[in-house]
Amino acid sequence: MAELTTLARPYAKAAFECARVNKDLQAWSEALTLAANVTANEKVATLLSSPGLTSQQKATAVVELCGDKLTDKQQNFVTVLAENSRLPLLPQVRELFELYKANQEKSVDVDIQSAFDIDSTIEASLAKALTIKLDREVSLKTSVDKSLLGGAVIRAGDTVIDGSVRGKLAKLAEAMNG
């Protein structure tokens, strides 16, 4: 996965810079999401891996499957990906683009998994604390994972805070075995 991200990074940066300069972040976000979904389709992925198709034919297929939703610049981006045999990286390109976009907009999506439901007052105080800690506007999404036993796991981009009982038990077991 890390290797795919490394390969996708220059393309994501290029798409982001183009979108930022043209003040078109949301349209690029939507276009990359659409193109990534198209290339992630099993039948399309099989077609794109066919050695009998030229890179131009692959790019044309993806653009046509996206309908009239891609601008000329976005279509050119798909063509460049095809020419460099990088169309299968579109999901990673989209993911990195979204990270760059969130950093630009000073916002972050935070996923909190807890062993039990979190009430709205605790959720609000968590959002406030994370906004201060991360220096970003926080969008919280909470879910329940009974396997945590207790506590919570907080994910914000690349940052993971594991305050779960399961995580603490795993650290204890690692310390005892190490």
pLDDT for position 135 = 80
pLDDT for position 2 = 60
Which residue, 31, 24, 19, is CA-closest to 67? 31
- Count Cβ atoms within 10 A of the Cβ of residue 19 and give its class: 0-12 exposed, 13-18 middle, 19 or more buried: buried
Neighbour-count burial for 113-137, b at 16+ CB within 10 Å, e otherwise:
bbbeebeeeeeeebbeebbeebebe
- What is the pLDDT averaged over residues 65-85? 94
Q: What pTM was estimated for this model as a whole?
A: 0.62
pLDDT for position 1 = 52
Taking only the tens place, the pLDDT of each residue in 118-150 is 999 989 998 898 888 888 788 889 999 988 888
pLDDT for position 103 = 82
The fraction of the chain above a pLDDT of 70, given in percent, is 98
Candidates 3.30.70.60, 3.30.470.10, 3.40.50.10800, 1.10.520.20; CATH matching 2-102:
1.10.520.20
The fraction of the chain above a pLDDT of 90, given in percent, is 57
Q: How confident is the model at residue 73 (pLDDT cuts 50, 70, 90)?
A: very high
- What is the pLDDT averaged over residues 47-55? 91
